[in-house]
Chain A
């Protein structure tokens, strides 16, 4: 069945995704893969090879599973021979990032707070070996210098231009393309909670969390998570969202980035910063600030933290500790000397490492494996109690320069989502820190006491193509495949319209960093547009709809 993006029958749609899912592979394009067909393709070369599109199991992420099946079906309609294969997440990730044993891949990715930081990792030609970030195998020697230089460019306008150029090139070459831009989304009980403000990384960020207001007896913000938290060690966790939410508020950062994507002294532990040269940054530490246990926060704590993280090679902050050489203190000023020039230093470095109390961590010889029962930070929330596997409570730290507007934030572990929604409607819970897009959200969005706020985020479902595979090494084939992605149908039917169709790796949420002139692919009749692109490039589509290489390339 062809999916016309503007006219999708839900019943047909679901039948299609289910059937494809049950079969475990998308149907072949009009012929058996075991026999060659070249009817009507006298001037054609051989058929394109069979491609593998790796899919996660339905129970891991049902929506994405259905979307991948659907895209696989459309690629077959385009005339490619695509087999959708389901793998457990760990296996899938290994096959793609280490073994490069895939043709197409899709999962969720995010760029973080700065759109340029992950670009070299994902697209630089020196990064294509096993387990490095550029798993598509994309190599563009002309683009490589720009990918690196934008990280070192201090002049914002020049850097924006570089990022625009990168987007233009990647938009044409499409080694990776966004299917849908995923939103940050929060559902809450609007009788009790109000005042959410948007931020590109999400509503858990320091700024929205210190803006939100709570009206109930105890002034408690009450959320839930499906999984247990596991650890309270800020240096020993694995970058899991549920813990990022906690540490964001328990600890301060030298610099924080506000919702306008600017370094903001009102949110930061440092009140001033200077850049005397390309490899040096000086920070003036906020005075009279105290740790949750009453000790003073000093520049020595900052120096200790940066030295400690580097000395112990904390994996979570490896990107950051590899950047700097030395840290020194002079009065309230801390000077950090970097190995190489860094452009967006505050987005790449200053806002990343949480500042730790020296008097608590000094005696810990193996910080990544330390058991931290009662974390002490200096952020606007302080540790209250933690019933492992059941509940975490953080209470207001009244001495913070930007205090929260509630007394406590409680997280209850509740695996069953129907229970969560029931408690949210009753007001026992009053916000969902992780609001999964799905039927529950759609059904409850209109309820009088349920508020839903969303804003474009930094992430997308990517559609990645392995350029090491014959056929996919040709830009024309990749572009045709991108044409065929039924983005509107996926957003409308699978994501209930909460997401946005993706056209550019650096989406509109990044404001001026996003290039509005990036090549747009076909919104409707994508399969037909894809076929036309293939034929224009010399590929031949036979009577069965199967794509053949141009005769010359076959020979």
Chain B
């Protein structure tokens, strides 16, 4: 099978997967206990007005009619309006997704850079004290709840030392600016440091451990001995030959992790008052705001599926041994 056949087959699979996810989401939210109208209808309203409200949400139609309308809207990229605020779900995504991405992607870049670098050295210096410390650090980072680390960081560096901001993306009362203008301001970077450090501490363990294991496998292969026999420097062998070959599994993991980044980190967004999509997603689920909940979960699913797809393609591009059969 050629590359184009593989691409078409995977694209079709992607479509089917998305449809399955969209259907599962639709059913899941409607099977959950709870009535979305309970949050917006008050007993003071007349029956006529109550009925009008329910009809405006389309909740009086049979489930299959609601489902068909939902799929039809999805095909035209209409994610609907929030039950709670009447806002277009697309606008909700446009508002909160960039904030989440800028936080999560920065954290991922930091985490993967540090994780991969440490992974290379821990693999290379196997059995050393350095390796033990790095592995323990990685395991602690993965095990300790990140929200607790976040609260600790806030308490020490925010409340007591006063060197990091306590909440949000900008200083209180700093006014409204454009997104990019904000992102490149010192105030924003000051607010970004603490949540990025906490997230990176959590996420770096994964690439570190994968890279270490992959390095150990690579270092036991014959071509490393050949490199040494050729008289290459240890540094050249470590980075140019071992790390490069060991890098593939990390790359796949990184692509998938980027997919998950779209969902944000609800706990970190809450602890640091970061106005991201994760917080909105949870709020929508709790309030039975179906359109917003479905829309945000769909975007999350789409990004994970897409990044899986990208990882598959990248593997083929980077490793000549991989075929498309």
Contacts and interface: CB of A to CB of B under 8 A. Distances in A.
Binding partners A and B: yes
Contacts of A473: none
B271 A416 contact: yes
Contact of B47 (A88, A132, A218, A239): A132
A227 B38 contact: no
A532 to B, nearest CB: 35
Nearest to B99: A389
A32 interface: no
Q: Which of B45, B47, B169, B170 has the most CB of A within 10 A?
A: B45
Interface in B54-112: 81-82, 84-88, 91, 95-96, 99
B167 A412 contact: yes
Q: Which of B41, B86, B91 has the most CB of A within 10 A?
A: B86
Given A220-B173, A318-B49, 9 more contacts: A231-B87, A369-B86, A389-B96, A389-B276, A393-B173, A416-B167, A419-B273, A422-B166, A429-B172
B84 A88 contact: no
Interface stretch (A91-99, A148-156, A451-459): A91-99
B173 A408 contact: yes
A94 B84 contact: no
B35 A94 contact: yes
B43 interface: yes
A87 interface: yes
B34 A135 contact: no
Nearest to A425: B159
Contact of A230 (B35, B44, B84, B279): B84
Interface of B: 33-36, 38-47, 49-50, 52-53, 81-82, 84-88, 91, 95-96, 99, 151, 154, 158-159, 166-170, 172-173, 175-176, 270-271, 273, 275-276, 279-280, 283, 288
Interface stretch (A43-51, A75-83, A195-203, A380-388): A380-388
B35 A388 contact: no
Contact of B275 (A218, A322, A388): A388
A164 B34 CA distance: 38
B166 A237 contact: no
Given A97-B43, A419-B154, A422-B159, A390 B170 contact: yes
Q: Which of A118, A122, A131, A220 has the most CB of B within 10 A?
A: A131
Given A222-B172, A238-B40, A239-B42, A228 B280 contact: yes
Contact of A231 (B36, B86, B176, B271): B86
Contacts of A218: 173
B33 A91 contact: yes
B167 A423 contact: yes
Across the A-B interface, the 6 shortest Cβ-Cβ residue pairs: A389-B275, A230-B85, A90-B34, A133-B43, A385-B176, A93-B38
Contacts of B275: 228, 387-390, 413
A422 B38 contact: no
Interface of A: 87-91, 93-94, 97, 118, 121-122, 131-133, 135, 218, 220, 222, 227-228, 230-231, 233, 236-239, 313, 315, 318-319, 322, 368-369, 371, 385-391, 393, 408, 410, 412-416, 418-419, 422-423, 428-429
Contacts of B43: 97, 121-122, 131-133, 135
Nearest to A392: B176
A408 B40 CA distance: 31
Contacts of B33: 87-88, 90-91
B44 A412 contact: no
A368 B49 CA distance: 13
B176 A389 contact: no
12 contacts: A90-B33, A90-B38, A231-B85, A238-B39, A315-B49, A371-B88, A385-B176, A388-B95, A414-B273, A419-B154, A419-B167, A429-B172
B197 to A, nearest CB: 17
A447 to B, nearest CB: 14
B46 A322 contact: yes
A466 B170 CA distance: 51
A90 B39 contact: yes
Contact of A131 (B47, B96, B159, B167): B47
A91 B33 CA distance: 6
Contacts of A371: 86-88, 91
Contact of A390 (B84, B159, B169): B169
A371 B87 CA distance: 7
B175 A385 contact: yes
Contacts of B38: 89-91, 93-94, 97
Contacts of A88: 33-34
Nearest to A389: B275
B270 A315 contact: no
A501 to B, nearest CB: 26
Q: Which of B50, B96, B158, B168 has the most CB of A within 10 A?
A: B168
Given A132-B43, A222-B173, A414 B167 contact: yes
Contact of B35 (A90, A236, A319): A90
Contact of B270 (A132, A236, A319, A415): A415
Nearest to A131: B50
B49 A121 contact: no
A505 to B, nearest CB: 16
Contact of A89 (B34, B91, B167, B172): B34
